[in-house]
């Protein structure tokens, strides 16, 4: 089984966490390739290793078109035209925002996380891989990861994800899909929700919610939840450590925002 791992980051996030992820991948994953989808710098300066592939997201037609079509809901500091909302406590991202408010945390930052969908969409164009595993840039590998272990995570299904009964929505820091028709359909269903604007009808516009909606609306895509529980603030708790993947990957969930202030 040949695995393609996928991540994305801009210059700031590369300096903060992405470099650590890439180095840990090269240290512990000899049976696989890491595709780095990046913005804001030239990959030729950094990614000179046979275990790494690079793609400049600025070249992606899907990203360019979506950003243009959705300028009205993207905050100005992220390149859109949307200003602050009129909710009672607009600066509280998890406060009492009206349903579908563009300033609620998961909606305000949706354009950031849409890069994940674009990256996976591009990865589908690469041939010769049996599976794709998304890994957030604030993750790192902690021990050698054999191909056979990744095979077990799928449990014979087309998609694996991390949610647990303790969360309302899956946590998309680590997820996997087969490059079979059902697995590819999982990504393409999410792409279609964003491309058509269907995501705007949901309470949350982020990638995790849209991935979950893709599974809900396509029950023919067989999937498995690897997480047995979540810890921390519910319903947004940490799940990776409570799954088989947690033995091999650490996720510093929220590190970019709460620790580094790179997200607001």
Domain residue ranges of the chain, discontinuous segments joined by +: 3-259
- Report whether 147 contacts 1 (CB < 8 A): yes
User: Which pLDDT value is given to residue 103?
Assistant: 95
Distances, alpha carbon 221 to alpha carbons 12, 106, 158, 237, 244, in Å? 36, 25, 7, 25, 21
Over residues 240-258, the pLDDT tens digits come to: 999 999 999 999 976 555 5
Nearest to 7 by CA among 179, 107, 123, 106: 123
- Report whether 6 contacts 115 (CB < 8 A): no
User: Which pLDDT value is given to residue 136?
Assistant: 97
Over residues 51-79, the pLDDT tens digits come to: 999 999 999 999 999 999 999 999 999 99
User: Which pLDDT value is given to residue 29?
Assistant: 95
CATH topology of domain 3-259: Spore Coat Polysaccharide Biosynthesis Protein SpsA; Chain A (3.90.550)
User: Which pLDDT value is given to residue 262?
Assistant: 56
Tokens of 72: 């009205």
Distances, alpha carbon 12 to alpha carbons 32, 63, 134, 261, in Å? 26, 19, 20, 11
Encode burial over 94-131: b for 16+ CB neighbours within 10 A, e otherwise.
Answer: eeebeeebbbbbbbbbbbbbbbbbbbbbbbbeeeebbb
Q: Which residues of the chain have pLDDT under 50?
A: 260-261
């Amino acid at each position: 089984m040949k695995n393609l791992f996928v991540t994305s980051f801009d210059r700031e996030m590369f300096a903060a966490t992405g470099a650590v992820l890439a180095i840990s991948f090269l240290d512990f994953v000899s049976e696989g390739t890491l595709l780095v989808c990046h913005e804001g710098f030239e990959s030729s300066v950094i990614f000179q290793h046979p275990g790494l592939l690079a793609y400049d997201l600025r070249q992606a037609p899907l990203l360019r078109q979506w950003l243009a079509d959705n300028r009205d809901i993207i905050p100005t500091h992220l390149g859109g035209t949307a200003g602050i909302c009129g909710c009672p406590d607009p600066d509280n991202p998890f406060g009492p925002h009206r349903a579908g408010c563009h300033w609620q945390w998961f909606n305000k930052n949706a354009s950031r996380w849409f890069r994940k969908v674009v990256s996976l969409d591009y990865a589908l164009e690469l041939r010769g891989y049996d599976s794709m595993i998304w890994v957030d840039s604030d993750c790192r590998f902690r021990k050698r990861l054999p191909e056979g272990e990744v095979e077990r995570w799928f449990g014979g299904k087309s998609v694996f994800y991390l949610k647990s009964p303790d969360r309302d929505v899956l946590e998309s820091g680590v997820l996997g899909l087969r490059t079979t028709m059902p697995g590819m359909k999982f990504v393409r269903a999410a792409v279609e929700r964003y491309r058509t604007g269907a995501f705007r009808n949901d309470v949350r516009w982020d990638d995790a919610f849209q991935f979950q909606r893709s599974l809900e609306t396509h029950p023919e895509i067989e999937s498995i939840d690897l997480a047995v529980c979540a810890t921390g603030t519910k319903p947004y708790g940490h799940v990776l450590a409570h799954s088989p993947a947690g033995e091999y990957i650490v996720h510093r969930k929220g590190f970019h925002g709460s620790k580094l202030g790179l997200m607001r």
